[in-house]
Structure formats: structure tokens, C-alpha cells
Amino acid sequence: MINEFARQVGDQRRLDYLYLLTVADIRGTDPKLWNSWREALLRELYELTKRAIRRGLGNPIDGDELVRETQQQARRRLREQGLHHMTVRSIWRHFTPDYFLRYSAEEIAWHTAAIHAHRGEDAPLVLIDPESPRGGTEVFVYTRDRDNIFALTVSALDQLRLNIQDARIITTENGYTLDSYLVLEDDGSPISGHDRGAEIAGHVADSLATPDRLPEPSARTLPRRLRHFSTESQVNFSEEPHNERTAMELITGDQPGLLAQVGYTFARCGIRVQNAKISTIGERAEDVFFIAGPDNAPLTAAEQQELRAALLEIVDDDADIMARADGV
């Protein structure tokens, strides 16, 4: 994707112009849309594209090369912290290449050091980075994978009135989660204060420790700025036979607590989330989930139909959105 985008941009000057115009357009359309997460997202796209252009469009960046470079940078950071390379290797041996492609070396070093210190503990590991390089606050969850981990986590964050801007859901080859959620306060501001961070970590850990108690999400007031947008909701499925799972794409209008509603629906339908790429751009949520049924097999046509109906049911109609925008 980055290589194709770089080819369309063409050169560094055009990339600079495009970056500046995009920032100006977002801030000019609605200053409230601009926050630390969107700033980090655009900066990451800019830096990766600049690197691709500098490397030469005829010599595209290879995924395996990116994995190696990221691992080398992370190892260097961990060596400086005193972790032996064999310790690092033992932790990473069950991590998939996708993990090293989707996290930075800084994040990987942070995760790895914490996982090493947590070894031998049964309780879930919940980390808080108040100022993530991706913008906002990162909530990282490492625990043995089981039913409803995703639903329990997003429900806990929703109860704290946090808005999830981005999420990366990854399962290791030996059945552990490597999940992170980028969150902001309900008003779009970053998380501030040690006590607030401790509250988030403690509440998420407590929720994961009581998996039999998954509350139904409550309705949250829709910000006024979202009442002017209308996005047709779509739920699309495709098969991934080589991974023995189903890919599901959800496109809908953004609203507070949307992922908590989705997670609750997954739990109600017996859906297991194996991987996910979640992103909200402006008023539009475009989320991709890689899922399986209760038997860890791809969803059947009947299960897909049931899940699609259940998800479309939770997406509010226009009248309800208008009412919630007014706080009704």
C-alpha cells in the first residue's frame, strides 16, 4: 500500500505539499477533528512514504526487510535495558510477522520488557503508555487468549467513557493476545495524570479477570459534530481458507461506544476475534475483523447472515442519532 501510494505521489515536493494541504483541510473543515492520534497517523504515513521515495520507486520496501529492521532496532533497545538476546528470542518465537509490521521498535521493546518481567504471573498484563508515539494513550493487553477478550476490553474502556481511536488485535502462535488500544478522553483530549492511567489499567485487568460478567453497553451521547454526517452501514465477509478464518469488514458512521456494541454482539453470537485492524477517520469507522465461530472454524453462510443482521441492528437510525446528538 505504501509503495503504491508513493508511486502515485511521485516525488518529495509533492508529498510535502500533500501533507500540508491535508492538515490544513482537516483543521479548516472542523478544528475538533484534529487531535494527537490523527497527527501521529498522518506523520507515520508521511515518514513511510518519504522513505519509499528516497529508496527509489523501482526498489520497493519488502515486508521481510521491514520485519528484520524493526527487530534489530527493538533488540538494540532491549540490550540497553539489560535483556539477553536469548531471552528476547524466547519471547518472540511465537510472535507472528504481522506483529513486527504493525508495531514500532519502541513499542515492541516496551512490550517485550514488560512481558519478561510478568513471566510466571497468571493475571493479565495491562500496560499504559500515556503518550504513545501513535498519538493518544496506548492500552496494551497481554494475556492467554480465550472467549470474549476483545468484548471485555472494549467494554471496560467504554465504561470509563474513553474513545477508541485505533486498535491492533493480534494473537500469538501459542495462544496469547498482543492487543493494543489507542484511546482519548470523551472530549478528544489525551489522558492525563498517573491516577487516570492507573484507573484504566486496573479496570481493564479487573474486567478480564471476571469473564462471566460482560455488561450490555449503555447508550452514549453523540457529539453534535457527528449529527451532520451520514454513512451507509455495510457488513462484508470474505473467506481466508489458508488461515481457517473469516474476514469481516464493518463500515459505518462513527459513534461513541461503537466497539463496545460490536464486542457485545460478537460475544452474544459466539464469535472469536483472532485479529483486527480498527480505524476511525473523521466521521467514518472502517474496521476489519478476522474471526471464527465457537468451534474456531470459519463462519458458515448462516452464521454470517446472523452476525450481519445483529450488527446492523445496533447501528442507530437517523432519528435516533439526531436525538442522541441533542443528549436526549
User: Does the pLDDT at position 226 exceed 50?
Assistant: no
Instruction: Flag the least confident range among 31-35, 167-171, 227-231, 262-266.
Output: 227-231
The pLDDT of residue 12 is 78
Predicted confidence band of residue 39 (pLDDT cuts 50, 70, 90) = confident
| Highest mean predicted confidence (pLDDT) among 7-21, 25-39, 167-181 | 167-181
User: Does the pLDDT at position 230 exceed 70?
Assistant: no
As a whole-number percent, the residues of the chain with pLDDT over 70 amount to: 89
The pLDDT of residue 48 is 79
Residue 18 exposed, middle or buried by CB count within 10 Å (0-12, 13-18, 19+): middle
**pTM reported for the whole predicted model:** 0.76
Can you read off the three cell numbers belonging to residue 32?
475538533
Mind listing the pLDDT tens digit for each residue in 275-306? 888 877 667 788 889 999 988 899 999 999 99
Residue-averaged pLDDT of the chain: 84
Can you read off the three cell numbers belonging to residue 130?
500515556
Kindly list the structural domains of the chain, giving each domain's residue range(s) and its CATH number in brackets, ordered by start.
2-55 (no CATH), 224-325 (3.30.70.260)
The pLDDT of residue 135 is 76
Those residues whose C-beta lies under 8 Å from the C-beta of residue 256, and which sit 6 or more positions away, are: 163, 186, 220, 221, 222, 223
Which residue type occupies 113? A
The pLDDT of residue 54 is 63
Phi (first) and psi of residue 137, to 5 degrees: -110, 130
β 162-170/179-185 pair status: antiparallel
Residue 187 exposed, middle or buried by CB count within 10 Å (0-12, 13-18, 19+): exposed
Phi (first) and psi of residue 132, to 5 degrees: -65, 145
Instruction: Flag the least confident range among 68-72, 79-83, 237-241.
Output: 237-241
As a whole-number percent, the residues of the chain with pLDDT over 90 amount to: 44
Give the Å distances, CA to CA, from 278 to 100, 181, 284. Answer: 17, 9, 11
Beta bridge partners of 236: 249
Predicted confidence band of residue 139 (pLDDT cuts 50, 70, 90) = very high
Higher pLDDT, 40 or 115: 115
- Look up cell 495524570; give the residue: 193
Instruction: Flag the least confident range among 17-26, 74-83, 84-93, 311-320.
Output: 311-320
Q: What is the DSSP string of 193-262?
A: SHHHHHHHHHHHHHHHH-TT--PPPPP-PPPGGGGG-----EEEEEEETTTTEEEEEEEEE--TTHHHHH
Phi (first) and psi of residue 252, to 5 degrees: -160, 170
